[in-house]
Amino acid sequence: MNKDDILDRLKAVEDPDFGEDIVSLGLVNSVEIEDESVHISLALGAPYSPNETAIAQDVREVLAETDLDVSLSAAVDTGLSPDEQVLPNVENIIAVASGKGGVGKSTVAVNLATGLADLGANVGLFDADIYGPNVPRMVSADEGPQATAEETIIPPERFGVKLMSMAFLVGEDDPVIWRGPMVHKIITQLWEDVEWGALDYMVVDLPPGTGDTQLTLLQSVPLAGAVIVTTPQTVAIDDARKGLRMFGKHDTPVLGIVENMSSFRCPDCDSTHAIFGEGGGRAFADEVDMPFLGELPLDPKVRERGDDGDPIVLDEDSETGRAFQSFTENVANNVGIVRRKQN
């Protein structure tokens, strides 16, 4: 069996997002046959995303009858050399943003990072909300980072997620009053001085709005994409639209819109109440032709588990937990779409 035979078999594997076979789409980087083994490099860039995992499984299945020992690897060419990349060992940086405060952006970021780690990915979470850093509390990160002899920082880890936050660097009750240049300096240092290691994903919890931190991020690192968090009401949608335009001006892919606090199910009467309105996030996504990543319920358990440092996405037995899991999978799948388009 030669390379052409292998490629013919691989033409039976369809990309679930693009509806064409992976050979025609150029997603097969290389095929190397040696003795009784074959190694295939695939242009996949979203580790542990359900759709890319399915592609890899389908590749193994179509080659199962060859009796060859099949090994796979995945790589997407970013077009940048390691020297040109700020974080060369981080495959995908995902920004979580909102146009206004109070929409649960940090909750979404924490659960996204934890959910990706629960899928099996190596994940970092950078709490870049320098004026209101609260990610450590939401994951019960009681131990701060450690410094090395080389004056780099080893981040603490919770739920398989490496963490960095301004909350580790300032007093618990100390206000952060910085102007733009200082914001740029500290954000850049936290990128470069933290030993993140090899990560499949880094989730960045941005402050609300469109200020200095967002500009620093967009100018410093190539984002795989951004998640825009909103709630159903019109005021939140109006502000989310501003955040969307910010990423558009910097040619940053938007992975989609997620509607947080979408509805409340009364535990006593089992009826559902649209406290903040209904359908605003989905309608906004349709209006701007962006993917809709899901509806996350307004559930007291989200607040309770956030206060206790136990992300709701790990609760597989609850409807809310499953909603966050579905959202996480949708984000990962959309990262894969963006990366495969870049191939």
Query: Any idea where the domains of the chain sit in the sequence?
Result: 3-74, 82-342
Average pLDDT, the chain: 85
Ligand-binding annotation for 105, yes or no, is yes
Q: Residue 180: pLDDT above 60?
A: no
State yes or no: 341 annotated in a binding site.
Answer: no
Q: Residue 271: its pLDDT value, please?
A: 62
104 is in an annotated binding site: yes
Task: Name the amino acid, one letter, at 146.
Answer: Q
For residue 1, what are the CA distances in angstroms to 12, 36, 73, 173?
17, 10, 20, 67
Which CATH number is associated with domain 3-74? 3.30.300.130
Say how far apart CA 336 and CA 269 lie, in whole Å. Answer: 41
* pLDDT number for residue 238: 77
3-state helix, strand, coil in the chain (%, to 5): 40, 20, 40
- Please tell me whether 102 is known to bind a ligand: yes
The reported pLDDT for the residue numbered 103 is 85
Question: Where is pLDDT greater, at 11 or 213?
Answer: 11
Q: Do domains 3-74 and 82-342 have the same CATH topology?
A: no
What integer is the mean pLDDT of 311-325? Answer: 94
How far apart are alpha carbons 89 and 219 in whole angstroms? 19
Length of the chain: 343
What is the predicted pLDDT for the residue at 82? 58
Give the CA-trace dihedral at 124, 134, 213, 143, to 10 degrees. -50
Class of domain 82-342: alpha beta
Q: What is the pLDDT of residue 172?
A: 58
**pLDDT higher than 90, residue 274:** no
Q: Identify the top-confidence range among 40-44, 246-250, 304-308.
A: 40-44
- Given a cut of 70, whether residue 4 has pLDDT beyond it is yes
CA–CA distance, 82 with 262 (Å, rounded to integer)? 42
Q: How confident is the model at residue 163 (pLDDT cuts 50, 70, 90)?
A: very high
Q: Is 100 annotated as a binding residue?
A: yes
pLDDT of residue 144: 82
Give the pLDDT band (50/70/90) at residue 250. Answer: low
Who has greater pLDDT, 202 or 216?
Answer: 202
What DSSP state is assigned to residue 71?
E
